[in-house]
Amino acid sequence: MFPDTGPSTRAYGSTRGFFSCRGRRRRSGSSWIVGMLLAAGFFGMVSAARAKVHWVWSGAVTSETAVVKARVDKGVRQVRLVIQARKGGAESHSPTSGFTIPDAAGIVTFSLESLQPGTQYQYWIEVEGTREMTGGFGTFSAGAFSFKVAFGSCASTGSNHRVFSRIRQANPDLFIHLGDFHYENIAKNDPERFRDAFDKVLSSPRQAELYRSVPVAYIWDDHDYGPNNSDRTSPSRPAALATYQQVVPHYPLTGEPGRAESIQQAFSIGRVLFIMTDGRSFRSPETDPDGPGKTMLGADQVVWFKTRLATAVEEDYALIAWVNSVPWITWENKKAEDGWESYSRERTELADYFKQLGITSRMVVLSGDAHMVAMDDGSYSNYASDRKAGEKAFPVVHSAPLDRYPSTKGGPYSKGTVAGWNLLWLKKEQRFTTMEIQDDGNALTVFFQGFDGSGRPLERMQMVMHCSEHVCEAE
């Protein structure tokens, strides 16, 4: 269990606590004249000292690169990022000379290169010569690397629940958000609505502190892409895509910069490849008849996914973590649950491809959507067309909700589910999961552990995978 310290103005014992804005200083005077002058100065300072940076977060971290995005007041012209390795060393700037000019919405992007692998960095957003907001991230080590990822999905818009502090205090190297970053259900094609939603989340104190402290990899689900159960027909699709590329620090997308038609992305940490697919941008309506024309990922993304997997085999990754928001394991004929049951033709196509490539035994699926923690050791995840009775596939781990009413979907799951009581939606639940990798370069062990909102480990929600020689066994 992690201590409940909440948002704080000082760093915690760990490296994952930062304060965001400039601190106040008390002043004193010995005469009323001095007092008046100070008062005048103080009131003058109030407007000058008003924070001009609304939020900042980082992502797209590799062993040598990272992206930091921030939102500043409209009209601000001179913005740059100051960065320094935590263990000392010289400060450097991005851009290296001059300043970045924010876009029309006040959003600035810093693409950092030539960083040192395996190094903790602190950064400051400097506005017109004043350091306004700070944050940090750590680059990944090159080669075999032991690390920790936290993951989860689904929080009411702007939630300030302490679960976000618990995630930060778990000291992950990365936080993977699997969608429902907010529940604005935006049906109008209006980028401003999406930016407002991001503002609400990224300005919420405990979430803001998490995102300043831990880099993110974020893929959307339905409520943060469009309306409930949204698909490629969502009227807000263009605005969702444009705003994601503008606001979110993400790994490279397909297509021209800023004009991607979907947000799938891949990145590696040590000997683990993470592939995040976009289950919304090309998704056929759920009510379409299942068959060759019906798709969850879209034809282009399926090609991209298969190509990335084939490359992964050549690159010899020890483990492939597929970040797939919605339930892969589903009860037969129980459709309309957002998961793969209604897209079973495409599910079989993918399962057959995993098997053909010989990677089924070194995959794990990370999911959200259903507001539960659930774990399956591979007993129920095999959808290959030639599967035999009792033939296992890969483990599946669901992690949700971060702060939302409980629900269960899909299954069965070999280790069951932890959801909660949802009569009349009276009580929200909070959960997250950590994925800790220990890798000595030969054997790689993965520890999954689910937590409640107080940071207490969920007893049944734990699983260990032992990987060596391209074969993983889940306990």
- CB nearer Fe ion, residue 152 or residue 378: 152
Output Rg (C-alpha) for the chain, integer angstroms.
23
Nearest distance, CB of residue 467 and Fe ion, angstroms: 30
Q: Which residue is nearest to Fe ion (CB)?
A: 154
Nearest distance, CB of residue 242 and Fe ion, angstroms: 23
The CA distance from 78 to 80, in Å, is: 7
- CB nearer Fe ion, residue 180 or residue 429: 180
The CA distance from 338 to 284, in Å, is: 11
The contact set with Fe ion (CB under 5 A) reads 154, 180
Nearest distance, CB of residue 3 and Fe ion, angstroms: 28
Nearest distance, CB of residue 229 and Fe ion, angstroms: 11
Nearest distance, CB of residue 414 and Fe ion, angstroms: 23
Q: What one-character DSSP code corresponds to residue 23?
A: P
Q: Two tokens at 43?
A: 């009131």
Identify which of 116, 127, 170 has the alpha carbon closest to the alpha carbon of residue 147.
170
Q: Two tokens at 265?
A: 């992305």
Identify which of 412, 344, 333 has the alpha carbon closest to the alpha carbon of residue 378.
412
% helix / strand / coil in the chain, to the nearest 5? 20, 25, 50
Nearest distance, CB of residue 295 and Fe ion, angstroms: 22
Could you tell me the sign of the dihedral formed by the alpha carbons of 467, 468, 469, 474, in that order? negative
Identify which of 356, 362, 357, 396 has the alpha carbon closest to the alpha carbon of residue 378.
396
- CB nearer Fe ion, residue 126 or residue 180: 180
Concatenated DSSP letters for 80-140?
EEEEEETT----EEESSSS-BPP-TTSEEEEEE-SPPTT-EEEEEEEETTEEEEEEEEEPP
Nearest distance, CB of residue 317 and Fe ion, angstroms: 29
Nearest distance, CB of residue 294 and Fe ion, angstroms: 23
The CA distance from 384 to 356, in Å, is: 10
- CB nearer Fe ion, residue 130 or residue 185: 185
- CB nearer Fe ion, residue 180 or residue 209: 180
